[in-house]
Chains A and B, each alone.
Chain A
């Protein structure tokens, strides 16, 4: 057979966003792959240098459009360290509530899209139905369903509305039952196993060498979760287990994500319980006045620093639904961050595409790449 390169993307049902997977094939066999990124590059790191600290939060929602609150959380933690600000404890718990509900929302979105990729359409509709309940909860306290702009340096924008705890518990009860249903639909289906078992195998040492994190790494049996290993916010105070699988294949990643949603429900019940019994402020009281200042293009004229506040460096790392995200914020004493650098977990997970794909067949590409949960918005930033 003759070898050839084919382009899967930038417009292809497999891609879930704009990117191009160039594949070298011999018949059906994959010999090499070369992902091409950048179709969604918006220069978020560059735009951040021109904005006030709180205005960058708007961009974070757009970084990953299914996990906006996790990215806000990440950026805010790094900014607070750079600006030497401590948020109240209640704000940290509300952030955890946001992060865990967002994890469930993101995983359900992944589930819906992934099973549609492998030809099961019923779970897709079930997933979209249940994700709406999570979005309704977000709407009740942020006012938005997708781009929330909820977290602030020093806390969060507002407290939860009255009656939120009961409503949230109802949603959690509903979801717990639905997770069982999801498993029945997928794990009980021969089609699912034929398309997912023993595919895209990436063992632990390879995964670590190529920077893979999150569910693909835990599916290889590596017990690593930043919420346990390097607790941020108040994760030290809640009780949960790390979701693990040992098959290192597509089915393993499915099992890890499903278990993570159950663990998120477990965390959320504790967080809601805590929030019910600990009223208090949700925004730090002593904040620099300029932090809430309207947009002013201070930095543009040659990036001269107009003010002289305390300098600082901030680093944060959170367990985002896709893996480990990191932010590095350099504060040089003005209202704008001097440099913001984000590490996207999907960026690293996709860079190992050759390790996932070579040796399998063309028809295996959608389930394998789908199992990474590619969110191109955060890869290209």
Chain B
């Protein structure tokens, strides 16, 4: 599958919410989309294009905005596709993919706590790698690893 195939198949479904489809060596392509079209895109990518295995979700802090990306695998095509959306830093939220791909659950929990991107309608958005009550998003550029941070840990079971 080539970026042109992705463009042809996704453009009618997403309309203006499809920003661009770029080439990415070794992958079917890199699909950039607006977050309003997230669910439409996930559904189209899984059901129409056959990318039924969501491998990872992650986030990047670009300081002025944040990017959330998804990698999905198609067993029929033997290819990965990279989906990415920009979200504003002061309103970093996007619809959850876990209703389409259940495997997104933990990846989104991790992205939420480390990069500070909220996933709307996520069934279980709790801390995974950092302790409960941890108030920082360590993978943000503003988080300095060489400064001691005050940390108050609340345990859930007490």
Contact = CB atoms under 8 A, between A and B. Distances in A.
B17 interface: no
A202 to B, nearest CB: 13
A211 B54 contact: yes
A253 B105 CA distance: 24
Contact of B80 (A313, A315, A351, A381): A315
Interface in A331-373: 338-339, 341, 343, 347-348, 351-352
Contacts of A343: 55-56, 71
Contacts of B71: 315, 326, 328, 343
Given A38-B128, A208-B53, A343-B71, A315 B105 contact: no
Contacts of B41: none
Interface string B120-158: 000000011111000000110101111000000000010
B79 to A, nearest CB: 7
Given A43-B138, A315-B82, A326-B71, A211 B55 contact: yes
Interface in A274-318: 300, 303, 313, 315-317
B24 A230 contact: no
Contacts of A348: 55, 103, 106-107
Interface residues of B, number: 41
B139 A315 contact: no
B58 interface: yes
Interface string A211-241: 1010000000010100001100000000000
Interface string B6-32: 000000000000000000111100100
A213 B75 CA distance: 12
B103 A315 contact: no
Interface SS, A side = mixed
B7 to A, nearest CB: 19
B27 A315 contact: yes
A291 to B, nearest CB: 21
Interface in B92-107: 101-103, 105-107
B130 A351 contact: no
A330 interface: yes
A209 interface: yes
B60 A330 contact: yes
A230 B25 CA distance: 13
A347 B143 CA distance: 25
Contacts of B30: 313
Contacts of A209: 52, 101-103
24 contacts: A7-B157, A38-B128, A41-B129, A41-B130, A43-B145, A47-B145, A208-B52, A208-B53, A208-B75, A209-B101, A210-B102, A211-B102, A211-B103, A222-B75, A313-B24, A313-B30, A316-B26, A328-B58, A328-B69, A341-B56, A341-B58, A347-B106, A348-B107, A351-B105
Interface of B: 24-27, 30, 52-56, 58, 60-61, 69, 71, 73, 75, 78-80, 82, 101-103, 105-107, 114, 127-131, 138-139, 141, 143-146, 157
